[in-house]
Chains A and B, each alone.
Chain A
Amino acid sequence: MSTDTASIAGHKEMKKIRRKKATATAPELYMNTLAESEREIIDTYFQRLAQYIDLPKSQHEDMERDFIKALQYYESTGVTIEEATDRMALHKLGGFYAHPPLRWYSLDSAAKIYPMSMGYRRMSMFRLAVYLKEQIVPELLQIALTFTIKRFPSFATTLKRGFFWHYLDSTKRRFVIEPESGHPCKPLIVHTSGSQSFRVQYYRNRISAEFFHVLTDARGGMVFLNTLTAEYLRLLGHEIPEANGVFDIGAAPSESETRDEFRRFKQRRKGSGFRQGRALQMSGRLSRNRPCQVLHFELELPALLNLARSKGTTITGLMVALMFLACKFATEENRGDIRIQVPVNMRKFYDSRTIRNFAMYCGISLKLSEITTLEEILPEIGRQLTERSAQEVMEEMAVSTMNIVRSVRFLPLFIKRPVAATLHGFLGENAFTNTFSNIGAVDLPPQMAEHITKFDFVLGSGTVNRAYCGMVSFADTAVLSVTKLTVNPSFEDKMYELLVGCGLSPKVSGSVLYED
């Protein structure tokens, strides 16, 4: 009898253990693999982690798994548990994942057009990428994003539709990194509950961040990427200070960082700057994949700078001039205007800390017949660049933007949206042949710079322009990125030929042609 009872009790105990094993959480399973002394540290660590996270159960568990993977990575590289938990100190989470999402942000005045003009498989995107000297460790990159996102509350948002305008609604979730796949700058899924308006990807030694333009412009995006990369490097054990465009993730985000700087432009006078005719488009059938190819022309910065100086112009002036020559070569039209859109960072005119959109643009235009040789067009391009990107002109354009926004503010969105989408087609893309956005040199703390080889900046594609160009320089490397919307290689072939002709010998890399 007693043997039977013991056997039943033993059986029950075994069942209990089995059930417990089956329902054991990821941290419990992980702890079973550790020594007794380490188990205690990890147990305390995960108990504290639970206090920092108030997310739905599945996301909570996913986040715990992220930390376990990072700990396992540290273990595999010989980093002690104490050191690992110290690098991933939980105070870096702050209260972000524990507080309910209550804030919302109105879109800045420049961003209001983007959700109205987007369509099925069409979205204004851009991408910034940093190339490190070593392969990316995804386990640590995920933790770096988990720690960094709280410093950028306007990025931790979901796009929503209001009655008059779209807006950004705060969201608290596990923001995820993903391996690169598919097209660069492919549209994000922003329509689901809690969806994010940016993505962080990795491939070999590259970390890239792609943004929907409603969140930020290239300058704000660069601050995010640099802060994320700095945190990633810290997790790898490097000492990286918070300086030169790297935010302190422990500091509280300030109101000035999420301010709509266009509000400073009052209705002082009549604005101007949007009235432009149609521009010529380069030839070539528009591809179904957008973009169908991304190319990077890697140039030596000192050589490029010397060339620009020798021609009495800037890097932007020189590149725009080369683009005019390449665009002329790539079009079959024989008359009309080629117009290149050049975004202008307004922060150079106004003291601003905003990480939201604060850029305007100017159009550099030449008649097809006036595009002859580099030497002949450079003075005119230089003149137009100086005149049209001057503070006064940019201010007038910003005033125009504000005037438009103010005049339609009480129109319901369902009326505004189709009108805005149509106007954007006429005033936006059709008015330009190409775009050249130069975000200049990236300045980083030396302790961080030593781990980085280069950056690149890719503009997402639109609907009509066959190419878009972005440029960024770091240390001794300048990278010109061409985003293509047609299989026709005329533009990039001519650009390459022109750059080689100038003695620059670019190294070309990029994606395969995505065309089916």
Chain B
Amino acid sequence: MKIEITYPEPPRVSRWFELLRKVARWIFSFALVFAPGVNIVLGGKLWSLVVLWAMWTTWNVLLSPDIVEFNPISQIVKSLIHIVILLGLIDVLLVPGWASFVIPIVAAAALVAALIFFLTDVRQHRHNMMPLIWLTLYSSVAFLVVFFCQAEDGLADDRSGRRRLDTDWSRDCGLS
């Protein structure tokens, strides 16, 4: 069978990114089993969850670019969501007590960055509004959750405080 070539010679395609993905996939697959295994054997805090989420973030944000809607705004929103969850996990599982202060700062910085991108080319980026709308929605939900949780805590503190006051007053009056 003689083939007449009727297509131009294709240029050579660089495959470094494909190779990087392949290597990362192997490393991450290994860590997916190894990290929880070591964590279970050694016991203690659930650091392996933080490791797994950090790997997922790296894969999702850097090695597996979105195939639909890949623009600065969508990437900022995507990275922000991943990083906020990572910070939350570190706070809950490893070092507690700082996330409620840090996360709003990170989120505000990301929002400002997204807005700067938006304002650089409003005409083009008005078609990329959807991720910003979702971010607003997620933030609102997160705000409400945090607000109600803190209100509950405050109420509980308030109640325990009042009980303590009642006890102190009773003792002062020699009633107890």
Name A residues whose Cβ lies closer than 8 Å to a Cβ of B: 56, 101, 115, 118-121, 158-163, 166, 169, 171, 179-184, 190-194, 203-204, 206, 288-289, 294-296, 492-493, 496, 507-512, 514, 516
Contact = CB atoms under 8 A, between A and B. Distances in A.
Interface in B83-117: none
Secondary structure class of chain B's binding surface, majority of residues: loop
Nearest to B7: A511
B82 interface: no
A34 B2 CA distance: 51
B69 interface: yes
Nearest to A201: B8
A190 B7 contact: no
Contact of A193 (B6, B12, B15, B127): B127
Contact of A191 (B4, B11, B67, B134): B67
Nearest to A293: B3
Interface of B: 1-13, 15, 18, 21, 64-71, 123-125, 127-128, 130, 134
A183 B128 CA distance: 30
Contact of A194 (B4, B21, B68, B124): B124
Contacts of A516: 12-13
A145 to B, nearest CB: 20
B67 A181 contact: no
Contacts of A204: 6
Contacts of A193: 71, 124-125, 127-128
Contact of A508 (B3, B9, B12): B3
A161 B7 contact: no
Contact of A119 (B10, B67, B128): B67
Contacts of B125: 193
B23 to A, nearest CB: 15
Given A120-B21, A508-B2, A160 B69 contact: yes
26 contacts: A56-B123, A118-B67, A120-B21, A120-B64, A159-B68, A160-B68, A162-B130, A166-B68, A179-B8, A181-B11, A182-B10, A190-B67, A190-B68, A191-B66, A191-B70, A193-B127, A204-B6, A493-B1, A496-B1, A508-B1, A509-B5, A509-B6, A510-B4, A511-B5, A512-B7, A514-B10
A513 to B, nearest CB: 9
Contacts of B9: 512
Given A182-B10, A508-B3, A56 B67 contact: no
Nearest to A203: B8
A121 B71 CA distance: 18
A346 B4 CA distance: 36
Given A160-B130, A161-B68, A508 B4 contact: yes
Query: Which of A162, A182, A206, A493 gathers most chain B CB within 10 Å?
Result: A182
A180 B3 contact: no
A159 B65 CA distance: 15
A180 B5 contact: no
Contacts of A496: 1
B67 A120 contact: yes
B69 A181 contact: no
A234 B65 CA distance: 42
Contact of A56 (B8, B12, B18, B124): B124
Given A161-B130, A181-B10, A294-B7, 10 more contacts: A118-B67, A194-B124, A203-B8, A204-B6, A206-B6, A295-B3, A507-B4, A510-B6, A511-B6, A512-B7
A475 B125 CA distance: 48
B70 A492 contact: no
Nearest to A191: B70
Contacts of B130: 160-162
B36 to A, nearest CB: 21
A303 B8 CA distance: 31
Given A120-B67, A160-B130, A181 B8 contact: yes
Contacts of A294: 7
A153 B64 CA distance: 31
A29 B80 CA distance: 48
Nearest to B17: A120
Query: Which of A56, A163, A191 gathers most chain B CB within 10 Å?
Result: A191
B3 A510 contact: yes
Query: Which of B9, B65, B69, B123 gathers most chain A CB within 10 Å?
Result: B69
A294 B4 CA distance: 12
Nearest to B63: A120
Given A181-B8, A182-B10, A158 B127 contact: yes
Nearest to A507: B4
A193 B67 CA distance: 12
B99 to A, nearest CB: 24
Nearest to B65: A191
B110 to A, nearest CB: 19
Query: Which of B65, B68, B70 gathers most chain A CB within 10 Å?
Result: B68
B82 to A, nearest CB: 13
B21 to A, nearest CB: 7
A203 B1 contact: no
Nearest to A54: B123
A184 B7 contact: yes
A161 B5 CA distance: 40
A127 to B, nearest CB: 11
Contacts of B65: 191
A203 B7 contact: yes
B4 A180 contact: no
A408 to B, nearest CB: 18
Contact of B68 (A191, A492, A512): A191
Nearest to A289: B13
Nearest to B10: A182
A56 B130 CA distance: 22
A509 B6 CA distance: 6
Nearest to A296: B6
Contacts of A514: 10
A11 B114 CA distance: 48
A509 B4 CA distance: 4
A294 B128 CA distance: 37
B77 to A, nearest CB: 12
Nearest to A129: B6
